Chain A
Amino acid sequence: MAHGVKIAESSCRGCVNCIKSCPTEAMRVIEGKIRILSEICISCGECLRRCPHRALLPEDDDWDYILSKRPMAVVTDPCFCAQFSWPPIPSLTAHALFELGLEPIFEEYEAAYDVAAVAAARAIKNSPETAKPLISTYCPAVVRLIQIKFHELIPHLAPVENPLETSIDLWRARTKKREPVTLVSPCPARIAMVRSPVGRDVSSAEYVISTSKLAREVLIGSGDPSKKVTIDSSTETPRWIAWAKTGGESMHVRAFSNQPVRTLEVDGLRNVISLFQEMELGKLRGIDYVEARACDLGCIGGIGNAESRFLSRIKIDNVKMSFNITEQYKKELEALYHAKVWMLRDEIVPIEQMPLGEDLVKAMEKLKQLHAVYAELPHLDCGTCGRPSCRVMAEDIVRGEGSLDDCIFRLKSRIADLSREIYELSKRLVHTMTPEGK
């Protein structure tokens, strides 16, 4: 199972900042270096934010290699357009990319994002009340979080393919071009989406690169396109740009639905997790659609971006968007919907975590052991044993992956006991000695 995070061993100091930030407790420090349990990593990027030594990086492809390949098509996440000093208008960004010799495929986005919104709206309409709310599958970190930690919510995931993948499919079908495509990703989760996709066999993109790398190249390599391309105040920005920030997708789904849709938007992993916990308790009745994003403010908050998420949001808020479509376009959209270009090919399945024991009796035995081990630990969750908490330490021990002496506090008290014993031994007399200590 590939994930979107790379470890720079030489930079890792073995501090425990990152392991505490992991929402699925997938990180350990072993022999002074960080290790990621890839089977439960959701590529959310929280650890990258927390690492003070830049030892955790997005696992993207080699930029020089990609640049050496020509021709090369690029499919950028919508937030890419908001990385620059000029307005987030795709025609400007496309101009800058052409100057670098890359071929952006923005022209397919409109249909891909529109059909995704239509598909979500129809899925909501066709779902019984008990299956609601549906949950957006746009954020791959959220999908994987559900696969690992919220199995009950899997039936709520809307079976809609990521529109970036759909864009590539549409582009290939229309142009018949065979050149490779690089996906430009704002976060480790989109990288993981290319490396090991969910809901399809292989990604339609061949390579993946971080937004910040391409943005830097644009800033160095091409001048401000707004000086060369004329835009006037009536220039409209396409609707899909709004998906870069929280609320954009919901707005799109509501606009393309022919009935009222009650949407709920949530961003930031901590918020997403509490919302899902509430949802599992059945507390979200009356909501039709949940747009959940792992990053603050949505994709513009991804760790792989160059621009401040706050400024990106202002830029997107300030552009004009229209949701009016012509009858002709409506028909085209309907045809795409029926061609099912938007549909996830495979079912999303839960990722089972190993239970403590192979059957309930053995698992209960292990859990009792776990409670006993846990009671021996200091409950400080200091991380010095290389695990995120005393509870995880206890679990590792009963699974046979550690010992109580990994705990520095336990070790200290054992040394104290031992030295007391040595001291007692040292006072014991042998027959040739007198109590004066000769």
Chain B
Amino acid sequence: MSEPLVLELQVKPLDFLAAGETATHFKETLKSLGLPPDICRKAAIVVYEAEMNIVIHGGGGVMCLQVEEDKVTIIAKDKGPGIEDLELAMKEGYSSAPDFIRELGFGAGMGLPNIKKNSDELYIDTAPGKGTKLRAVIYLDKRR
């Protein structure tokens, strides 16, 4: 087993102009490794949604991409307010985004459900006031 490939990028709070850049960058990286398109697509969606969560709620944070021989792992860390009711946040359509963000067309309440849908494993470590750490895993070979 060789060392995993690790990429890390900072995400700034409320920077809607740059939002999506991490997703594009990570996706290009995965494509250049020759990974199959559906893996790249799933990973890009996970990264994009997680990145948006950091932009909207997290007050900035770090996005990390890890590639290993059998899986791609996406880690999103922020020092934001944390998620009060995780079960509620996982529901489609539930959003705690403020009005001005919804007016920008974001905050539809699809972020976490979308991440869950596009990853094989999802771990969220969060508590009010403690920030949020999200880890999503996509396996390269589904039969495992």
Which A residues are closer than 8 A to B by beta carbons? Answer: 151-152, 277, 280-282, 355-357, 360-361, 363-365, 367-368, 395
Q: Are A280 and B33 in contact (CB under 8 A)?
A: no
Does B41 count as interface, using CB distance less than 8 angstroms?
yes
Q: Are B41 and A363 in contact (CB under 8 A)?
A: no
Specify which chain B residues have a CB less than 8 angstroms from the CB of A356 in the assembled complex: 32-34
Most buried by B among A151, A281, A357, A365: A281
Specify which chain A residues have a CB less than 8 angstroms from the CB of B34 in the assembled complex: 355-357, 360, 363
Does B69 count as interface, using CB distance less than 8 angstroms?
yes
Q: How far is the CA of A361 from the CA of B40 in the complex (A)?
A: 17
Q: Are A364 and B37 in contact (CB under 8 A)?
A: no
Which of these, A282, A360, A361, contacts B35 with CB under 8 Å?
A360
Q: How far is the CA of A157 from the CA of B19 in the complex (A)?
A: 27
Q: How far is the CA of A277 from the CA of B5 in the complex (A)?
A: 24
Which of these, B2, B48, B140, contacts A281 with CB under 8 Å?
B48
Q: How far is the CA of A361 from the CA of B35 in the complex (A)?
A: 11
Q: How far is the CA of A368 from the CA of B34 in the complex (A)?
A: 15
Separation in Å of the B108 CB from the closest CB of chain A?
11
Specify which chain A residues have a CB less than 8 angstroms from the CB of B40 in the assembled complex: 152
Q: How far is the CA of A182 from the CA of B35 in the complex (A)?
A: 42
Q: Are A364 and B2 in contact (CB under 8 A)?
A: yes
Most buried by A among B20, B33, B44, B45: B33
Q: Are A367 and B5 in contact (CB under 8 A)?
A: yes
Q: How far is the CA of A279 from the CA of B63 in the complex (A)?
A: 22
Most buried by B among A277, A280, A365, A368: A280
Q: How far is the CA of A280 from the CA of B40 in the complex (A)?
A: 10
Do A363 and B45 contact each other (CB < 8 Å), given the known contacts A277-B20, A277-B24, A281-B23? no
Do A282 and B67 contact each other (CB < 8 Å), given the known contacts A355-B34, A364-B2? no
Q: Are B45 and A282 in contact (CB under 8 A)?
A: yes
Q: How far is the CA of A420 from the CA of B96 in the complex (A)?
A: 62
Which of these, B5, B23, B41, contacts A368 with CB under 8 Å?
B5
Q: Are B29 and A367 in contact (CB under 8 A)?
A: yes
> Which B residues from 63 to 110 make CB contacts under 8 A with A?
67, 69
> Which B residues from 8 to 60 make CB contacts under 8 A with A?
20, 23-24, 27, 29, 32-35, 37-38, 40-41, 44-45, 48
